[in-house]
A and B are shown apart, each in its own frame.
Chain A
């Protein structure tokens, strides 16, 4: 809400500088978004008298002026304007002066003649007709009267006002107007506040002879007041009104329209003026729009209406979109002679709904949406008539039509001062509490510690002790609140087990040299195509955002790999040669699509690595350490993820449950991301790992007896996985096995075609004693037998 300081001063005494006023309003709950000093950009521009005008030798349109700028010596300024005469008083921008928009004026030569400044037009000073008469004429601004040459031009043209932009919180719709803000200022500063008392002359007649009003939906329109004004005298509004309207960001149009706007700005109650003669049948009907009806509004746009929208109709059709915008047909124009004036209360959620549906928002609708006061409807109507009368804008017909379904009683709150202040913990004297509430217009009676507070409908936001506590404190001052340390039983805050485990996994990954990343929870809908996912793949069941910021952020992710690939691509494109990254976040799995209930949000982890020292097995090592940390028994199987290299990927089972997939990214997919090197990613269903109950660690005694190491070298088919050999050895060695280590895989010279040579070291040890040759021999032959059974032949 933008309000000029001079306007506020009309209602309330302001006895402090504007900066202090704003600071104090901020501390009372009215944030100040901006203080604009009018003419702030104008510097070194003065009123000057034209002493002499001489023609310019080298130009037929330039003139050379000798100016009295109050400096003693005349100053020579060249101008192109033709509307000036000797003896005129005009604004002169002197050497090294500034005009709005940062325009800097310095001395120079115009076609060879020295010019020590510039004579200014109203436009150049940022003025409009509402600021100063003649400001918009073509040419130099001719000043009225005989201002002393050298006087600051801002003083001469009255640019001494401040425009303050207050941010009005949603609970204070009563302050979206001059009177509301002025009232608050009076309480904050402790100064006098005066609201205009509407009084006006009427011209006789009876309104009922002119119009009938029928409200058919009291739910959406609880109150409607109509008045009629005849013999309009439409003209320009007075300067003060134009200034007030302009300062608040609206445009002056003519006295009638300006009065309705001014009253809205002043009281917060939107007004609407209809051309009386355009109201067919002289009937006003407040009703829901009929199916298929439409209206062309003041801005010339046609809107198709639906039955949930409220209209003000005449005898035949909608004449106004209630609370939003008037109809083009009944617009007030310069030749309008008679006026029907509406002041009404409409239900805020309905107005909001209509505005959203039609994509329209006006000063009026935004006030209705925030909520208007039903009791204010009458005051605003009276105030508008007072202005019509004062400005002699028309003849007011006697009589008011006030249709309502009953008016609300004031809300009475009975509460003790203790009950209010126990929410705050600050001691405020009982009398002070009552005084503050009274000053805010909440009529309060104090009896001992008992308070009876009468809340008028305009302060609908005040429902109980918490609201009263806020009212008292924002005026008494929040600086009185002194912090007390946390009280209550001494307890240690607990973390959820999932968070504790996740933190450990993160620590492990950090130790493995990985950097944690953070990416958005939504991705592009096409990302699943880029990953080449099968059309039946479950990860395609993505939840769509109804109002996304763009297609690239349009669905909730069902996997983290897309985001990881994007991050890898970003880093690779920036010539970062290697990196390890991880992210722990959620995947969103719909129970059904389109969704009707909250989806499963499952903990998920992704890991991505690249660089010359990284390969499949580095990533496998990382995965294995995570599995170990979680206490999972791990098995690897070949997998068939379409976005991974068909020969370099694996599914990881944790305690027999598929829990992760990892591998080298398929070159075709990498290319789509602009990745030109080998990258490796893992997608881990952390929710599964977090469910595993890790066995409690129990210490195993250190070995007392020596271990025996035996090497086994074998030949087998080259496509036999070493995992199979490993399993065979483990099985063969039985309980004596301590450790097994693959130390060589070879194929090539001296190895038959289609075969490979594999060599393992195996350590055997017993906890019960040094192994005997017989025991070792038995274990060895068992290992060999098992190896042979899977198709490996020992090399002699």
Chain B
């Protein structure tokens, strides 16, 4: 019986080793381990053995059974792995074939820049407000210390809709509306569309965008103005950007400054972008004119404030090196797709 067991085991081992498909393995399992299998048959013959022989023989048969079960399981696993491997190999694809396009759209470059600017000022505690694009003469000029027939009106070509109504030439109009409705401390920005009767060319557009900023509180100084603008400039142009104030004139601020940032292209050494100056003019700013504060019912002897107006289109065209401002309003998809 022992011999027989040995022979069966050897035959099974050979057969399992030679098997090359999961089907054959299954057949072998049935042949040897199944209810009518050869090992099962031996177990059934155990009754013919003496009680002394039985345990040893039983152990031998069980060992042989376990051995074969393990072999079969291992072989099954190996064959399955092989089959998977072959299948995967057959499924190899050309990964350089074109992607199935996920057409994500995107914001207009101007709004990408506006959103960035909003984030910067929001983090410094500025509320974001809106103002009307059709303004009254009062809000756009008069209350901003530009009375009728003031020569400063020549600085801007205004689109008029009626005697007293115009398309705002500056987001500064929002300053007045803010100061009329809020009490100091005031910290707001107003991004928006502005209009000037400029003929269209590569650097001029009758429709463009500004971001107005206004801070009013007790003890606000020009140093605070510079601090805020430095923070802004570093976020927009890079951490080593420098800010320079140049005296200038705006009717609604006093003192007034033009604000230059060190050219991000050459770091201030002078290049084609900054026309050799090392500086790029990005905005106008100043301390809110006492007349403007007074016009809004804020006592200029108690409160002071600063205001600034940033040209968004200019920042957009310099950031993306867009050579012609008209591209922003033409909306060619191949242009828009780049942002």
B338 to chain A, nearest CB (A): 10
Shortest Cβ distance from B149 into A: residue = A349
- In the bound assembly, the distance between CA atoms of A567 and B106 in angstroms comes to 16
A594-638: contact bitstring with B at CB < 8 Å (1 yes, 0 no)? Answer: 111111010000000000000000000000000000000000000
- In the bound assembly, the distance between CA atoms of A495 and B128 in angstroms comes to 5
- Beyond A470-B254, A570-B332, A594-B162, whether A485 also contacts B110 by CB under 8 A is no
B118, B127, B185, B331: most-surrounded residue (chain A CB, <10 A):
B331
9-residue interface stretch from B39-47, B68-76, B86-94, B222-230? B222-230
Contact between A515 and B197, CB atoms less than 8 A apart: no
Residue A680 lies at the interface, judged by CB distance under 8 Å to chain B: no
A474-498: contact bitstring with B at CB < 8 Å (1 yes, 0 no)? Answer: 1000110111111111111111101
- In the bound assembly, the distance between CA atoms of A493 and B334 in angstroms comes to 35
Contact between B329 and A519, CB atoms less than 8 A apart: yes
Interface residues of B in 221-262 (CB under 8 A from A): 221-224, 226-231, 243-249, 251, 254-257
- Beyond A369-B151, A515-B336, whether A485 also contacts B162 by CB under 8 A is no
Contact between A493 and B329, CB atoms less than 8 A apart: no
Interfacial chain B residues near A571, Cβ < 8 Å: 331-333
Contact between A422 and B221, CB atoms less than 8 A apart: yes
- In the bound assembly, the distance between CA atoms of A488 and B187 in angstroms comes to 10
9-residue interface stretch from B18-26, B27-35, B52-60, B129-137? B129-137
With beta carbons under 8 angstroms apart, the residue of B105, B187, B206 that contacts A516 is B105
9-residue interface stretch from A92-100, A237-245, A381-389, A423-431? A423-431
In this complex, how many residues of chain B approach chain A with their Cβ under 8 Å: the count is: 86
Residue B84 lies at the interface, judged by CB distance under 8 Å to chain A: no
9-residue interface stretch from A1-9, A24-32, A125-133, A667-675? A24-32
- In the bound assembly, the distance between CA atoms of A588 and B134 in angstroms comes to 9
Residue A466 lies at the interface, judged by CB distance under 8 Å to chain B: yes
- Beyond A348-B149, A570-B330, whether A499 also contacts B221 by CB under 8 A is no
- Beyond A422-B219, A518-B110, whether A556 also contacts B161 by CB under 8 A is yes
With beta carbons under 8 angstroms apart, the residue of A370, A483, A499 that contacts B226 is A483
Residue B274 lies at the interface, judged by CB distance under 8 Å to chain A: no
Residue B66 lies at the interface, judged by CB distance under 8 Å to chain A: no
Contact between A29 and B249, CB atoms less than 8 A apart: yes
Residue A154 lies at the interface, judged by CB distance under 8 Å to chain B: no
Interfacial chain B residues near A543, Cβ < 8 Å: 134, 161
B332 to chain A, nearest CB (A): 6
With beta carbons under 8 angstroms apart, the residue of A423, A465, A486, A597 that contacts B222 is A423
- In the bound assembly, the distance between CA atoms of A287 and B128 in angstroms comes to 53
Residue B171 lies at the interface, judged by CB distance under 8 Å to chain A: no
Interfacial chain B residues near A227, Cβ < 8 Å: none
A489-532: contact bitstring with B at CB < 8 Å (1 yes, 0 no)? Answer: 11111111011000100100111111111111110000000000
Contact between A425 and B222, CB atoms less than 8 A apart: yes
Contact between B222 and A27, CB atoms less than 8 A apart: no
Interfacial chain A residues near B337, Cβ < 8 Å: 515
- Beyond A546-B162, A599-B134, whether A512 also contacts B289 by CB under 8 A is no
A487, A518, A594: most-surrounded residue (chain B CB, <10 A):
A518
Interfacial chain B residues near A481, Cβ < 8 Å: 222-223, 226, 245
Residue A464 lies at the interface, judged by CB distance under 8 Å to chain B: yes
Interfacial chain B residues near A485, Cβ < 8 Å: 227, 231
Residue B103 lies at the interface, judged by CB distance under 8 Å to chain A: yes
Interfacial chain B residues near A540, Cβ < 8 Å: none
Residue A580 lies at the interface, judged by CB distance under 8 Å to chain B: yes
With beta carbons under 8 angstroms apart, the residue of A486, A520, A546, A580 that contacts B161 is A546
With beta carbons under 8 angstroms apart, the residue of B103, B227, B243 that contacts A486 is B227
Interfacial chain A residues near B248, Cβ < 8 Å: 29, 31, 169
Interfacial chain B residues near A465, Cβ < 8 Å: 290
With beta carbons under 8 angstroms apart, the residue of A466, A470, A579 that contacts B247 is A470
Interfacial chain A residues near B154, Cβ < 8 Å: 170, 369
Residue A765 lies at the interface, judged by CB distance under 8 Å to chain B: no
Contact between B206 and A520, CB atoms less than 8 A apart: yes
- In the bound assembly, the distance between CA atoms of A35 and B132 in angstroms comes to 42
With beta carbons under 8 angstroms apart, the residue of A28, A169, A348, A556 that contacts B134 is A556
With beta carbons under 8 angstroms apart, the residue of B127, B160, B244, B329 that contacts A545 is B160
Residue B122 lies at the interface, judged by CB distance under 8 Å to chain A: yes
Shortest Cβ distance from B200 into A: residue = A549
Contact between B162 and A595, CB atoms less than 8 A apart: yes
Shortest Cβ distance from A482 into B: residue = B223
- Beyond A546-B160, A579-B333, A601-B133, whether A493 also contacts B105 by CB under 8 A is no
Residue B65 lies at the interface, judged by CB distance under 8 Å to chain A: no
Interface residues of A in 308-366 (CB under 8 A from B): 348-349, 352-353
Interfacial chain B residues near A479, Cβ < 8 Å: 244-245
Shortest Cβ distance from A424 into B: residue = B222
Interfacial chain A residues near B304, Cβ < 8 Å: 422-423
Interfacial chain A residues near B267, Cβ < 8 Å: none
B152, B200, B230, B247: most-surrounded residue (chain A CB, <10 A):
B247
Contact between B221 and A494, CB atoms less than 8 A apart: no
B302 to chain A, nearest CB (A): 12
Interfacial chain B residues near A39, Cβ < 8 Å: none
- In the bound assembly, the distance between CA atoms of A499 and B115 in angstroms comes to 11
- In the bound assembly, the distance between CA atoms of A474 and B247 in angstroms comes to 6
Residue A467 lies at the interface, judged by CB distance under 8 Å to chain B: yes
A671-712: contact bitstring with B at CB < 8 Å (1 yes, 0 no)? Answer: 000000000000000000000000000000000000000000
With beta carbons under 8 angstroms apart, the residue of B132, B162, B200, B249 that contacts A171 is B249
Contact between A553 and B206, CB atoms less than 8 A apart: yes
Residue A158 lies at the interface, judged by CB distance under 8 Å to chain B: no
Residue B265 lies at the interface, judged by CB distance under 8 Å to chain A: no
B105 to chain A, nearest CB (A): 4
Contact between A170 and B185, CB atoms less than 8 A apart: no
A482 to chain B, nearest CB (A): 6
- In the bound assembly, the distance between CA atoms of A571 and B336 in angstroms comes to 11
Interfacial chain A residues near B300, Cβ < 8 Å: 466
- In the bound assembly, the distance between CA atoms of A353 and B154 in angstroms comes to 12
With beta carbons under 8 angstroms apart, the residue of B106, B206, B257, B328 that contacts A510 is B106
Contact between A493 and B227, CB atoms less than 8 A apart: no
- In the bound assembly, the distance between CA atoms of A424 and B287 in angstroms comes to 9
- In the bound assembly, the distance between CA atoms of A588 and B110 in angstroms comes to 22
Interfacial chain A residues near B110, Cβ < 8 Å: 518
A403 to chain B, nearest CB (A): 24
- In the bound assembly, the distance between CA atoms of A469 and B223 in angstroms comes to 13
Residue B15 lies at the interface, judged by CB distance under 8 Å to chain A: no
- In the bound assembly, the distance between CA atoms of A506 and B108 in angstroms comes to 10
Contact between B227 and A483, CB atoms less than 8 A apart: yes
Shortest Cβ distance from A553 into B: residue = B206
Interfacial chain A residues near B247, Cβ < 8 Å: 27-29, 470, 473-474, 478
With beta carbons under 8 angstroms apart, the residue of B135, B162, B224, B255 that contacts A469 is B255
Residue A198 lies at the interface, judged by CB distance under 8 Å to chain B: no
With beta carbons under 8 angstroms apart, the residue of A486, A518, A522, A580 that contacts B231 is A486
Interfacial chain A residues near B224, Cβ < 8 Å: 425, 484, 486-487
B134, B152, B329, B337: most-surrounded residue (chain A CB, <10 A):
B134
Binding site for A on B (CB under 8 A): 103-108, 110-111, 115, 118, 121-130, 132-136, 148-152, 154-155, 159-162, 165, 167, 185, 187, 189, 193, 195, 197, 199-200, 206-207, 217, 219, 221-224, 226-231, 243-249, 251, 254-257, 287, 289-290, 300, 304, 328-334, 336-337
5 residue pairs A–B, Cβ–Cβ below 8 Å: A464-B290, A516-B106, A521-B207, A574-B332, A596-B162
Known contacts A483-B243, A549-B200; 13 further A-B pairs (Cβ under 8 A): A348-B149, A352-B151, A353-B149, A491-B125, A494-B122, A498-B130, A503-B115, A515-B106, A543-B161, A545-B167, A571-B331, A580-B103, A581-B331
Binding site for B on A (CB under 8 A): 26-29, 31, 169-173, 348-349, 352-353, 369-371, 422-426, 463-467, 469-470, 473-474, 478-479, 481-496, 498-499, 503, 506, 509-522, 543-549, 553, 556, 567, 570-571, 574, 576, 579-582, 586, 588, 594-599, 601
Closest 6 CB pairs of A and B: A425-B221, A349-B149, A470-B255, A29-B247, A169-B249, A513-B103
